[in-house]
Structure 1
Amino acid sequence: MDSPLSVGFPGIVVVELEALCGSLQPTALQSLEHRLSKGIDRSWQGVVLTCSQLPYFSCGLLNVLLRCHKRANCRHQRIVLCQVSPFCRQQLALTRLDTLWDQFDTIEAAIAAFAKSCDHELHAGHECDAFGAGRPASNSGPSSKETFMKTFQVWTRPLGAACRVRVDGIQNGRWLYSQLARSCGTGNCKPVRQTSDSNSFVFVVNFTSQMTSSALSTVLSRIPEVQLMTQPA
C-alpha cells in the first residue's frame, strides 16, 4: 500500500522511501514513481524524500529518481533528500549524483532550506523556486561540485565472487580504488601487486550482498570520469 503524501510546508511535499524501494522489484518502483509524480504535481516548490529506511540505491531506483528529477526541473521545482545513510551517501558521491540532489540530516532542515530559499527569492524580486532556482537564472559560475577529472579507461574481468579492475593511469586508479573502497568497504577492495613500469593500476573488488557484479557495473557506468572498455582486464 502506498504511503501517503504529506505537506511539510506550503508548496512542499514529503515522500518516504521504504526499504522495498531499494530493490529491483518493478511493483515497488512503479508505485514510487507514481507517488513522486503525484507529489511533483501537487507541489509548487518541490519534494523532500526521506531515506531513513533505504539500505542502498539500486539501479532501478536511481533511474526512477532521475526521471522524476527531469519532471521536477521542467516545473522549476527541486527534489531533495534527507536522512540518507552513509552507504547511500557514498553511492551518490561515487556516481556524482550528489550534485543533483541536496542532502539534509532531517526533514525539518530540508523544509527550512526550501523556506529560506523562497524568502530569498521573494526579497530579490524573482518568482520563487527552491534552492536559488528563481527565474531569471543566476549568472554565477559553476560550483566546485561541477569540476570533474578527465575521462579515463577502465577494464573489468569477472573472477567468480570478485572482479578484477584495471585502470589506465596510476593516479586515476588510486582515485577510483579509494572511491570504491569507501563504498564497498576497505576489506573488499585489494590492490594487485604490479611492476614499477606499469602505467595501469589494478585491484580486485570482492562482491557482497550490496555490491554485486551488476551493481558494480552500474556504479562504474555512472561515474562520469570512467570510460568502460569492452575488452576484459
Structure 2
Amino acid sequence: MSLVELKNLTKTFGGLLAVNDVSFSVEEGSIVGLIGPNGAGKTTVFNLITGNYIPDTGEAIFDGKDVVGMQTHRIVNLGIARTFQTIRLFKSLNALENVLSGCHCRMKSGVFASMFRTPAQRAEEKRVLEKAMSELEFVGLKDQWDTQADSLSYGKQRLLEIARALATEPKFIILDEPAGGMNDQETQELIELIKAIRERGITVLLIEHDMSLVMKICEHLIVLEYGAVIAEGDPETIKNDPRVIEAYLGADDDLL
C-alpha cells in the first residue's frame, strides 16, 4: 500500500526547470532512497512534499490527502517529518529543549491551562518531557540531554535533528543527507538507527550520497537527473542500470 504518491510534479525557478514531471510512490513501511548527482532536484522534491515549495503542477498525496498548498505545520500534523541537508537546530538551546520543540505540535493545552497550570496541563507537560527524553535515548543522546546543541559534534547534531523530527510522532520521515559529516562508525550506527525507525512503523525516504549506506539499507531507489526520474528499482537493478552508471555512479566499483 502506497503511503506517498507523487504525480507529475513540476517546479520551475525563473527559467530553471528544477523538477520535471516527477512521479513515484513510497510504500508504507519501506525505506526508499532518492539519489542522483548534485543539482538533480532531490531536495526540491523534498520541499514540494513538505510544503516549503508549491509545485507549478502535480499532486503530492500523503495517506490519501493531497498536501499541495497546505501550510507546513498542517503537513507536520498529518504525520510528515523531515531533517535538512544543512542542519537547522536551535543552537543556543540544549538537546532536550530542541527535542521538546518538536513535541509542541502534539500538545493540546491552551493558553488558559498553561497560565493556571491545570492538572491536565501538568500531566501533559510530564508526558512531553518523558517523550523528549525517550527520543534522545533512542538516538543515543540521553546522557547529553543538557548539552547545548552547538557544542555537540556534527554527527551528533544530525542525530539530534532526527530525534526532534521523531518527537512530532510522524508516519513518514524524510532524511536529507543524514550521514553528512559522519565518520565510518557513526554511519554504521546511523544505518542501525534508520532500521530501528522503520521497526517503529515509520516509513523512511532519504537523500544520501554515501552509496554504501544506500545500497545496504534501501529496498527501493529512485534516481533523478536534471529534475526527472531516469530509473527506479531495487539496489541491484539500479547499480547495473547503464543510465544510472553514466549519470551518477560512474565506473568506480567502490560506489557499488
What's the TM-score once normalised by structure 2's chain length?
0.29
Relative contact order, higher structure (CA 8 A, sep 6+): 2
Question: Whose radius of gyration is greater, 1 or 2?
Answer: 1
What's the TM-score once normalised by structure 1's chain length?
0.32
